[in-house]
Amino acid sequence: MCYNQYMQKRKLNVSGYRGVWGETLNEDIVKWYVWAFVDFTKKVTRKTHPTILIGRDGRATGGEIRDIIVKELSKVGVVAVDGDILPTPTVLYSVRSHSCDGGIIITASHNPIEYNGLKFVNNKALFTIEDEVNEIENSYTAYEKGEKQIIEDYTDPEKNIPNFSHEHIDHILLNIDVEAIRARKFKVIADMINASASVMDSYLFEKLGVEFIPLNNIPNGQFAHCPEPIRENLISTMELAKEHKVDIGFVHDPDADRLVVINEKGDVILEEYTIALAIKNVLAKNHGRPVVLNLSTSKMGEDIAKEYGSECFRTKVGEGFVVEGILKHKAIIGGEGNGGVIYPIINTARDSFVGIGLILELLAKTEKNISELLEEIPKYFMKKDKWPIGMDLKDSYEKLKKVFVGAKVDEQDGIRFDFSDDSWVHLRPSNTEPIIRLFGEAKTQERIEELFSEVKKNM
């Protein structure tokens, strides 16, 4: 197994709902969440027959879940647009570009193959935020308990389905320097893990004029390796990148909202560099524009922002919170250190295809390779750890405040301590797993180990 299985208590949050199909996710759960989301959508849009786009990440169970959703939507008077296999960012882009009233994405992101899940998109083409999630959850509970019944009002599914994936790519191409990329004649490898990126990458790289080597490009949900795009899961991908002597490699997660880069030597680079490289490209053209990152993301992006006279704002962990911050601060770019690039000019969502475009553009414009670009970025030693939930974090937070006297404290999501030597640690419960996460960085390995040791002693 990619990591220990866990049995998730049913609860929708800003990252959606995930469970093992047939166990913690089943037909009743899907049905009740669909009804609850429709109630929310009809209330917000004041439409009797709203239009909702459905997309899925390619998992084998996704087709069955899609069929349930389409059937239930038709019962409650919704026009269901079945986009079939679509990356998560493509669904959000398409909800906006086609003025849909909402979207449902069938995905468990980087969870193992036996999982699937639901993510909900509102009529603003944004993931549902905390207040909206609570409203949907309350409605779900009423259906689950039988306190509420649906009012049947049948509609037919939408018949004319646009090419959502090509539309999304075409919009990205309008916002990057395609000719500069074409002129470099890059040789690129991309690992699509047999999931939703498979319906996008060939078209993207064809339009960019690169020599393209596809890996795991059949969208059947049969993951070629553990789906989280981290180095330990990508050994065979790295070997093929070295064998083919590519200029750069890209790895998607199943729903293609996260992007990891392989350098010209065939080595996976830390996923934190994805957003750092994207920020470097965008701010080079937009000096002084704000940047938004979550609290667990590397300081590299913050340092790059300072270099270009830009302010960096921090938010709670979670894509929806980062997007809220981007809109609030009118930021030019933002994202998360797990490989999630959010470039609102193109899409208000983490978007691996936007990340590919921005990084290739940066390589083309600077005429450098990835390793040379990374040498220009301030270096940190990052450490990440996690433990099963089983302790009172509030007590730990109070203990740590007494240990780290003088540090800058941020308590908007768990607790983060920033120190005068540019090191930091962030302790918080996960949004998607029943675990506690600890992230941190320092200028030396010794310093980050020292900080982690102090945190653990006080937990």
The pLDDT of 50-63, averaged and rounded, is 96
Topology adopted by domain 17-162: Alpha-D-Glucose-1,6-Bisphosphate; Chain A, domain 3 (3.40.120)
Q: Which residues contact 169 (CB under 8 A, 6 or more apart)?
A: 200, 203, 204, 207, 353
What number does CATH give the domain 381-457?
Answer: 3.30.310.50
Catalytic positions, written as ranges: 109
CA torsion, ordered 220, 225, 226, 230, to nearest 10 deg: -120
Q: What is the pLDDT of residue 51?
A: 96
Q: 167-375: CATH homologous superfamily?
A: Alpha-D-Glucose-1,6-Bisphosphate, subunit A, domain 3 (3.40.120.10)
Taking each helix axis from N to C end, the angle separating 272-285 and 300-307, rounded to the nearest 10 degrees, works out to: 10
What confidence tens digit (pLDDT) does each residue in 367-379 have? 999 999 999 999 9
In contact, 102 and 95? CB cutoff 8 Å? yes
Check pLDDT > 60 for residue 5.
Answer: no
Please list the residue range(s) of the chain that carry CATH number 3.40.120.10: 17-162, 167-375
Q: What is the pLDDT of residue 3?
A: 35
Return d(Cα 87, Cα 257) in angstroms, integer. Answer: 7
**Dihedral sign from CA coordinates of 369, 373, 375, 381:** negative
Check pLDDT > 60 for residue 107.
Answer: yes
Please list the residue range(s) of the chain that carry CATH number 3.30.310.50: 381-457
Length of the chain: 459
What confidence tens digit (pLDDT) does each residue in 156-194 have? 777 789 999 999 999 999 999 999 999 999 999 999 999
Q: What is the pLDDT of residue 10?
A: 57
Q: What percent of the chain has pLDDT over 90?
A: 89
